[in-house]
Chains A and B, each alone.
Chain A
Amino acid sequence: GNSVTQMEGPVTLSEEAFLTINCTYTATGYPSLFWYVQYPGEGLQLLLKATKADDKGSNKGFEATYRKETTSFHLEKGSVQVSDSAVYFCALIGSSASKIIFGSGTRLSIRP
Chain B
Amino acid sequence: GAGVSQSPRYKVAKRGQDVALRCDPISGHVSLFWYQQALGQGPEFLTYFQNEAQLDKSGLPSDRFFAERPEGSVSTLKIQRTQQEDSAVYLCASSPRLGTANTGELFFGEGSRLTVL
Which residues of A does B touch, CB under 8 Å?
A: 4, 32, 34, 41-46, 49, 51, 89, 91, 93, 95-105
Name which of A41, A98, A100, A104 has the most chain B CB atoms within 10 A of its CB. Answer: A98
CB-defined A-B contacts under 8 Å, sample of 7: A44-B108, A46-B104, A49-B103, A51-B103, A93-B104, A98-B55, A100-B106
B31 CB contacts on chain A under 8 angstroms: 98
Known: A32-B104, A98-B102. A43 touches B110 (CB 8 A): yes
Residues B100 and A105 in contact, CB atoms below 8 Å apart: no
From the candidates B3, B59, B99, B102, name the one contacting A43 in the complex (CB within 8 A): B3
B41 engages A105 (CB within 8 Å): yes
Given known contacts A32-B103, A46-B105, A100-B45, what 4 new A-B pairs fall within 8 Å (CB)? A43-B109, A49-B105, A97-B100, A98-B55
Q: A-contacting residues of B (Cβ < 8 Å)?
A: 3-4, 31, 33, 35, 40-45, 48, 55-56, 59, 91, 93, 99-100, 102-111
Measured CB to CB, the closest approach of chain B to A59, in angstroms, equals 12
Given known A96-B100, A98-B56, A99-B56, contact A44–B43 (CB-CB < 8 A): yes
Residues of B within 8 A of A34 (CB): 104
